[in-house]
Structure 1
């Protein structure tokens, strides 16, 4: 039987403090650092070693996330290069012609945002399609606020919570849950993801149709002009980009490429497209220098996104046995796993109570406004629950991932919807309010599915 020590109790108290800080809309990176130091001191009994534990924990966390950071950085560099030669406009222009009315504009804009976000990350996708498709949607009568809602729900919600191709979200979930095959998380997430997407998008569409207080046409959008950045070869590269990613998908299916191998395929393809785009814009000689600039900016973006996640993850990795061993030493155990096993031996932890706890905590960590920042916690909790009761670790981890990212990834938190609000020229507060009911309905329905399917 597991015996809890003061280290376990302090670890749980720190987690509660982190959750309270999240509810109060405060950053938690500093709390996590201090928490690592406190746990390090209690586990080692040495202040000097505790200082070293802080660094070691961040290093272990960084190693866990490094491949995710690299793929996102490379894809961001590729998307910037494509935008600089106007290839983004060429790829999207055929889709833009399909927007004949408000209904078609809402769903075509949303689905396009989702597909592009799967390959180049939602924040980049907003810029990638905003200047081209937003004016077209306005022209057929779709108000700016509902354009912004579509971009948020389908990009920051649907695409980011699934992340089927880059696999940053499922890989993060898998690492923190101790699952070796990322595809298991992807597969387990599909029922929750589908439910969340359908419920939230239909709710948003119904609200849009019922909303009679907004003007039907925004004349400002009709005069929008985008700069012609096309160079010789832009059209060829746009076709090549689409073709190469379609081939990636076919190869994944035919040769059963998944997990890290699938990520490697996407990353290598992104680098090749980046090279072609830079050469097309600058020529072979100048490209030798300019290529470095794109890589540098891409990695600056990736580091900016994941720097706080590495620190937050460092604390929660103390909860899992394998990472705790690497941070605190071979004698260390997973603190959160121990607590879960102890609680389950004293209190009957049922499947329903575990799912309920996972859902509530996923909502609370999502409120922090960083969807990825909460994933290490829900992944670690999934592992703890699975060791205590008969519940699928993949399903309960995927359940937590979908809810956490939908809430925190950039739908209902005002400061996380700023990029979309800026592109659509609406206020972040107004956009977050419009997203609140669709997301709340989606979470409620997804929770019901979780109780039935997990």
Structure 2
């Protein structure tokens, strides 16, 4: 059955296209996002007051959703300032520079480590763990910060999260919606995840190397965050204490990993553990370095971290607010004003697309990819995968086979787009830890991910 699209849905599509155009033109998207929120409120409620109030309400909703990520980024950055100022960072990374000797090794080693940790704890805590330790090593090896962000992002929020073989949150949702065992979805997703992962990471690395050779990527020393890696210690610290802290920091993060295994911590709980550990390291290092002035310096470093965090998130909140309005944020901000039977704007658009295209194996694969991409635009990645499972079941019934492959394909497309490789606010953890512009990271991921999705979709057609 089809869903008749309301004016609100048309307005949403129009502004999505406008935002994408602004990104392609490398223009700021804040103004068009705010105007889009206002028009969504106006078409949905017919009230100017509700429309204007909806702008502020959508900002509150977006900030609430992003707050855990904002906090952990702020604390990690504050901790990095302390470690750099005291020279602990330099001492900590020196042994690792012997393992990662060039930019190529840095890209692939960081990516593989990120993928493995993300399988067990999901990418957000993995970004904090790896970024705090491996970023300075990669920069010393010659890999720019944007390269580190691309590697962590594609391997973590892309490969690991789209397969989700250990925690099995994603395949469980899609399998339930498709009415098939979760093991079927996992088995069907393995070849698709491999193809998507190999194509995307290789293409991204090729673009990265080409731009590095052409001088289109600024050296790491020009990055306002990572340039501190090359500076000498500003605060004197006894050599013994410095070496102790240099050993203690990675040990504490390894203990975090152990605790995640032992106490079965996932997602937000794992992120909170990493954030709390970073805060304790910040306090200990500051007090040891500044002694009597330590109390004041702890506050100073926290302020530095929060200033950085909100400076990074400031441009992202308006666009996040707009895209959240395409999903659960709409009813939260404006109330139950969508047409009866609606499941949210992005899900409605996905259903409408599926019901307006003639069916064949090729069309089914293309449609599941398109539905995954559309529903991934809300920046969650997970909100649309149940729809992908339901449509896969519908298409497979008509085709007579391929339900597991179609389900896995829709899951992969939704998570690669919305889980954190293309939607700017979803990839903020990697961008913020590396001190790069999240919009620039999204643009750099665009061609590799699009090429990967096309190749994976074509490959899936042969499996149906």
Q: TM-score with structure 2 length normalisation? A: 0.67
2:365 corresponds in structure 1 to 352
User: Alpha-carbon deviation of 1:326?
Assistant: 0.4
Residue of structure 2 in register with 1:295 after alignment: 302
Distance in 2, Cα, partners of 1:308 & 1:51: 19
The alpha-carbon distance between structure 1 residues 125 and 250, as it changes in their structure 2 partners (threshold 3 A), is closer
Q: 2:232 is matched with which residue?
A: 227
Query: Unpaired runs of 5+ in structure 1?
Result: 135-143, 174-180, 215-220, 366-373, 422-427
List per-residue Cα deviations over 1:29-56 (Å, max 9, x = no partner).
2111101101101111111111001111
| Correspondent of 2:346 among 324, 333, 336 | 336
- Equivalent in 247, 259, 268 of residue 267 of structure 2: 259
1:272 corresponds to = 280
**How big is each residue's C-alpha offset from its partner over 1:230-277, in whole Å with a ceiling of 9 and x where there is no partner?**
512221111111111001111112222101111111111111111111
8 Å contact from structure 1 (residues 126, 419) kept in 2? no
TM-aligned CA distance change 1:438 to 1:389, over 3 Å: closer
Aligned to 2:329: 323
Partner of 1:160: 153
1:228–1:379: structure 2 CA closer, same or farther, 3 Å change rule?
same
Alpha-carbon offset, residue 386 of structure 1: 4.7
User: Residue deviations 1:324-362, cap 9 Å, x none?
Assistant: 210110343412222222333333575412344268779
Contact (CA 8 Å) 1:200, 1:438: kept in 2 or not?
A: yes
1:13-162 residue pairs with structure 2 within 5 A? 13-98=14-99, 106-108=104-106, 111=109, 118-120=126-128, 128-129=136-137, 133-134=140-141, 147-148=143-144, 152-153=146-147, 155-162=148-155
- The number of residue pairs the alignment matches comes to 389
The 3 A distance-change label for structure 1 pair 126 and 445 is farther
Contact residue 157 and residue 405 of structure 1 kept, 8 A: no
Q: Aligned equivalents of 2:446 and 2:53: distance in 1? A: 43
**Distance in 2 (alpha carbons) for counterparts of 1:209 and 1:340:** 37
SS in 1 for 2:270: helix
The answer on 1:308 being equivalent to 2:290 is no
Matched-pair contact (CA < 8 Å) for 1:75–1:119: no
Moved more, 268-277 or 322-331: 322-331
SS of the aligned residue for 2:4 comes to coil
- CA 1:121/1:44 → structure 2, altered by over 3 Å: closer, same or farther? farther
Q: Partners of 1:265 and 1:335 in 2: how far apart?
A: 35
Return closer, same or farther for 1:50/1:305 CA change in 2, 3 Å cut-off.
same
Q: CA distance change for structure 1 residues 247 and 95 in 2, over 3 Å: closer, same or farther?
A: same
* Cα contact 1:341–1:387 (8 A) shared by 2: no
Residue 396 of structure 1 corresponds to which residue in structure 2? 413
The normalised TM-score by structure 1 is 0.68
Deviates more, 1:444-453 or 1:27-36: 444-453
Q: Is the 8 A contact 1:337 1:383 kept in 2?
A: no
Question: Residues 282 and 183 (structure 1 numbering): CA distance in 2 closer, same or farther, change over 3 Å?
Answer: farther
Taking the aligned partners of 1:275 and 1:6, their CA distance within structure 2 comes to 53
2:365, 2:92 → 1: CA distance?
A: 46
Q: CA deviation at 1:438?
A: 7.8
Find the counterpart in structure 2 of residue 424 from structure 1: none
| CA deviation after TM superposition for structure 1 residue 380, in Å | 5.8
The reply on whether 1:282 has 2:290 as its aligned counterpart is yes
C-alpha distance 199-281 of structure 1, shift in aligned 2 (>3 A): farther
Distance 1:35 1:206 in 2: 36
Question: What's 1:244 paired with?
Answer: 252
Counterpart Cα distance in 1 of 2:22 and 2:55: 21
> What is the distance in 2 between the residues matched to 1:83 and 1:236?
15
Pair 1:446–1:310, CA change in 2 (3 A)? farther
- Structure 2 portions without partners, runs of 5+: 115-124, 173-185, 215-220, 222-228, 394-406
